[in-house]
Amino acid sequence: MAGNGRRKLVFDFHEGNRDMKDLLGGKGANLAEMTNIGLPVPPGFTTTTEACLSYLDRGTFPEGLMDEVDEHLERLEGTMGKKLGDDADPLLVSVRSGAKFSMPGMMDTVLNLGLNDKSVQGLAKQSSDERFAWDSYRRFVQMFGKIVLDIPGDRFEEALDRAKAKKGEAAKDTDLTAEDLRELTDEFKEIVRKETGEDFPHQPRQQLEKAIEAVFRSWNGARAVAYRRQNKISDALGTAVNVVAMVFGNMGEDSGTGVAFTRNPATGEKEPYGDYLPNAQGEDVVAGIRNTLKLTELAEIDPKSWEELRRGMDILEKHYRDMCDIEFTIERGKLWFLQTRVGKRTALAEWVMAHDMWQEGLIGREEGLLRLDPNRLEQLFKPVIEAGHKQKEKPATKGLNASPGAAVGRVVFTADGAEEWAERGEKVILVRRETTPDDYHGMIRSQGILTSAGGTNSHAAVVARGEGIPAVCGADQIRIQRAAKAFTVDGSNVQEGDWVTIDGTDGTVYLKQLDLEDPPLARAVAGDEAARREKIWKAFRAFMELADQKRRLRVRANADTPDQASNARARGAEGIGLCRTEHMFLGEERVAAVREMIFADTPEEEEAALASLLPLQRGDFVGIFEAMDGLPVTVRLLDPPLHEFLPNHVDLAVAVAVAEERHESEVVVRDEKIPLEEARDVLRKVEELHEANPMLGLRGVRLGIVKPGLYAMQVRAIVEAACDRVEAGGHPEVEIMIPLVATQEELRQMREELEPAAREVLVRRRVELPLHWGTMIELPRASVVAGEIAEVADFFSFGTNDLTQTAWGFSRDDIGKFLGMYEERKLVRANPFVTIDRPGVGRLMEMAVGAGKAVNPALHIGICGEHGGDPDSVVFCHEILLDYVSCSPYRIETARLAAGQAALGAAEAASK
């Protein structure tokens, strides 16, 4: 506790540890941990996340914050033997953000704080390097101006570009002399005066207070909010602020800065990986101002620092029992560790590292399983450039392989442009010199990212790897002409909208649209023996086998065709949880038969139309039952309203009116010619079936009641197909699902009408086959009266798509128009059509499970909405004791992994 009984708001590094991330943020907690285990860390202190939240709530610092900052600053000055901003020998500090969860580049940092017109002279004298001092000062004015004073960064960048241009076309910032930098600093200060109407602040204590406030504010910056929303990080955490004594990598060629990973974050291989930049400060590496060197080149440049770095990397990986991402600076041959955290990695690297660390004994197999992110598993199946193209096509240029995977798209040059083009349905590649955090919204809408500058730890690379977006960085042969919206490379001119292909696995760039193909894991799953020799396949098998051993939930597929069913089974599906029969009515012959049924004037005509549909339906079911032989197949009887099989009401009415006005004998509707009299008949029927709200109209069980012959035909087709499989030696397991039931009586009457039709087929075919009858729970009323419905049901399957629509009153097709605003204003926690809304829809599900099981303990319950493939929703289904989830065939592995983790996590929690 601080004085007067207040909670302590500031901690020295030696007072914290890695378990204090909630209070000190990840960066502060890890700086404290590195200090405590004896690594060389510059001294400093951390203001807590609670201080930040108080500031954001009240708009002012919490009582006593700056008093505590002053106390800790005095201790820091005592440790360093220097005073902040002293004229003769100044202490300089960095002010860095640090939330509980890593948000690279999303919040703000200020370096070299404490410099002013007098202390820069003292720094020059003490360092014996006037150029270094003025370089540090111009950096400070630039960062402070942009971050603290909200001056557009381009103002400073343009001035810097002009200064470099005076030195020559290819000049770098390192070519600027001390006098150049002095003049540039004066120009920067003039920019501050013009933009703010005030002089640049020279009092170090005032600089520090303003910088802390700016970092607090950055928690609610647009890019930070967008990142949290994308990565499902709570807005209620706040950020800590770390005030750290500066060490300088820009003091000459015996100094430098870098980022190191203890393993390769792109491939997972156990090898040092990262970037190093001599004579630079840390922001230079991530900003892409200069192209970096490979980390391993440090061994030649500075062998002593390299060995110390390798030793520290080994200590940290063993201490954290994970791959570590490390920021470091070398100041005149002295190595300093500035930050560490468990490093972000690609989906591929995540699996390879977990497997290798288990094999090395660093972690257990179960811990390795829990480290895998099921939301990213699909990335392992991302396309790569088709092998034939890869061999014969010559790349136009090559950059750094920053984030794996291949991407094809049209070139755009701004983040806003990427977002706009993506909104139109275009696939885009965002091309930039380098990206900044302000580009985040466009980056996540792009198929791939291509930059002409920056290294493998630049902002573009870090974001791309985290979001699973292919990226090539540092392709320095590319010359971007922003005004012309074009770039040139290898003698070619590429305009906005032109097609390019990038390969983030090897860094190649092609100025054309190339075909893509499945990656090694996808081929391995499909049985490719060469692909099965690769490390990712071994990791995938080991952890998926463990997930399957641990999980209680079964995983089925939503599949409507034999091909889909076969694909799902190959991916590990344990049956079909939803076979939608409406998809079987597509095709000219089938639609014609359905229309004959709709237009039938007599029972005999309707029966004849249904009879023509029966063999077509039976053939579909035979293939599905064969693909899923020995596993349950849940067939949903026709659900959508009949008008969906007829022409659009408005289109048809307009076409008829036009034909009548022109005295034409035929009507054209969507390229189909219909005689005018027939078109009039169709229009009358369409108008008869037209509903104001068809989603809540004549569909599902209501359709079965109004058109009993339709469901009876489907049941006969299902059972006859099952009999065909039995006679062929198969073992079909048939579940017949009646949709949109709201009352017990609806299901009871349907069963009374349909079970005799099924029994007639079984008797006639002399086949013994148990049939299971159930319903979709997709209406709030059905959830509330589930106990009554369960008395006449063998199984329930939650149709969470419609249950979410009817519980929220949202249209799944229209929610996109306002969902972003709802999320921004925290009116919804997340898109309820992606992740189950636990308090609302989830509560309805819990009620239905409890009531149903209470009256019918043998009741089998699953879920077949799109939520069945969402990892968070799978965890919820495990918690409420569903028996299975059903999802798209391409999400089967994701659901299996999430179900295994849910069971393992629940077991671990229960044992504690």
SS3 457: coil
> Would the pLDDT of 457 be above 70?
no
**Residue 668's beta-bridge partner residues?**
673
pLDDT, one tens digit per residue, over 644-687 is 666 777 778 888 888 888 888 888 765 567 888 888 888 887 78
CA distance 485 to 482: 5
Higher pLDDT, 382 or 779: 779
3-state secondary structure at position 111: strand
Which residue type occupies 156? F
Tell me the C-alpha distance between 307 and 647, whole Å.
Answer: 74
Rounded CA separation 448/903 (Å) = 36
- pLDDT score for 515: 93
More confident residue, 399 or 382: 399
Proportion of the chain in helix, strand, coil states, percent, rounded to 5: 50, 15, 30
Q: Which token pair is 805?
A: 């629509």
Count Cα neighbours of 62 within 13 Å in the Cβ-side half-sphere.
21
Torsion of CA 786, 790, 792, 798, to 10 degrees: 70
> Could you tell me which residue, 451 or 591, shows the higher pLDDT?
451
Task: Check whether 11 has a pLDDT greater than 80.
Answer: yes
Mutual angle of helices 130-143 and 119-127, in 10-degree steps:
140
pLDDT at 234 over 80: yes
At CA 417, angle to CA 106 and CA 518, rounded to 5? Answer: 80
Listed in sequence order, the residues at least 6 apart from 37 whose beta carbon sits closer than 8 Å to its beta carbon are 315, 319
CA–CA dist 661, 651 (Å, integer): 16
Question: What is the identity of the amino acid at 90?
Answer: P
Q: Tell me the pTM.
A: 0.78
Tokens of 507: 């860094």
What local confidence, expressed as pLDDT, does residue 172 receive? 83
**Mean pLDDT of the region 897-907:** 92
- pLDDT of amino acid 681: 80
289-333 confidence digits (pLDDT tens): 667 899 999 999 999 999 999 999 999 999 999 999 999 999 999
β-pairing, 93-99 vs 239-245, is antiparallel
Asked whether the predicted pLDDT for residue 589 surpasses 80, the reply is no
Mean pLDDT score, 134-158: 94
What pLDDT is attached to residue 440? 83
In this predicted structure, the answer to whether residue 3 has a pLDDT above a threshold of 60 is: no
pLDDT at 684: 82
pLDDT at 815 (0 to 100): 75
pLDDT more than 70, % of the chain: 95
Closest CA to 625 of 713, 766, 736: 736
- pLDDT tens, 605-644? 888 878 888 888 888 899 999 999 999 999 999 887 766 6
- Which residues pair with residue 429 across a beta bridge? 411, 448
- Confidence class for position 1, pLDDT limits 50, 70, 90: low
Catalytic residues: 459, 864
Q: Which residues contact 85 (CB under 8 A, 6 or more apart)?
A: 91, 92, 114, 115, 116, 119, 203, 204, 207
pLDDT digits (tens, 9 = 90+) for 322-340: 999 999 999 999 999 999 9
Are 114 and 92 a contacting pair, CB within 8 Å?
yes
Which H or E run contains 886?
Answer: strand 884-887
Q: What is the pLDDT of residue 800?
A: 94
The whole-angstrom separation of Cα 128 and Cα 859 is 82
Of 49-58, 601-610, 708-717, the least confident: 601-610
Q: Are 185 and 137 in contact (CB under 8 A)?
A: yes
Nearest to 702 by CA among 736, 737, 739: 739
Distance CA 682, CA 523 (A): 49
Contact 103/233 with Cβ under 8 angstroms? Answer: yes
Beta strand 256-261 pairing with 293-294: unpaired
DSSP state of 265: T
Pair of tokens at residue 767: 């086949």
Distances (CA, A) of 56 to 1, 10, 207, 216, 747: 22, 17, 20, 7, 55
18-40: b (≥16 Cβ within 10 Å) or e: bebbebbbbbbbbbbbbbeeebe
Cα atoms found within 13 Å of the Cα of residue 415, Cβ hemisphere only: 14
So what's the pLDDT on residue 405? 86
At residue 811, the pLDDT reads 80
Is the separation of the CB atoms in 176 and 128 below 8 Å? no
Summarize pLDDT for 174-190 with one digit per residue, the tens: 899 999 999 999 999 99
> pLDDT tens digit string along 80-135?
999 999 999 999 999 999 999 888 767 788 999 999 999 999 999 989 999 999 99
CA nearest 769: which of 779, 777, 778, 758? 758
Read off the amino acid at residue 350. Answer: E
Q: Max alpha carbon distance in the chain (Å)?
A: 105
| Residue 671 backbone dihedrals phi, psi, to 5 degrees | 70, 5
Alpha-carbon distance 173 to 304, whole Å? 27
Using 50, 70 and 90 to split pLDDT, how confident is the model at 802? Answer: very high
Distance from C-alpha of 499 to C-alpha of 495, rounded to nearest angstrom: 9
Rounded Cα distance, 17 and 291, in Å: 35
Question: Looking at the predicted structure, is the pLDDT value of residue 912 above 80?
Answer: no
**pLDDT at residue 119, as a whole number:** 97
For position 563, what pLDDT does the model report?
A: 87
pLDDT in tens, 84-97: 999 999 999 999 99
Q: How far is CA 430 from CA 74, 398, 434, 460, 478, in A?
A: 47, 16, 10, 10, 14
Query: What is the residue-averaged pLDDT of the chain?
Result: 90
Find the mean pLDDT for residues 582-594.
68
Whether 29 and 66 have beta carbons less than 8 Å apart is answered as no
Cβ(287)–Cβ(458) below 8 Å: yes
Q: What is the pLDDT of residues 867-885, one digit of tens each?
A: 999 999 999 999 999 999 9
Is residue 288 over pLDDT 70? no
Crossing angle for the helix pair 535-550 and 347-360, nearest 10 degrees?
80
Q: What is the mean pLDDT of residues 351-368?
A: 97
Residues linked to residue 432 through DSSP beta bridges, in sequence order:
451
Strand partners, 733: 632
Residue 190 has a pLDDT of 96
* Backbone φ and ψ of 595, nearest 5°: -65, -35
Give me the pLDDT at residue 611, please. Answer: 84
Q: Which residues pair with 431 in a beta bridge?
A: 450
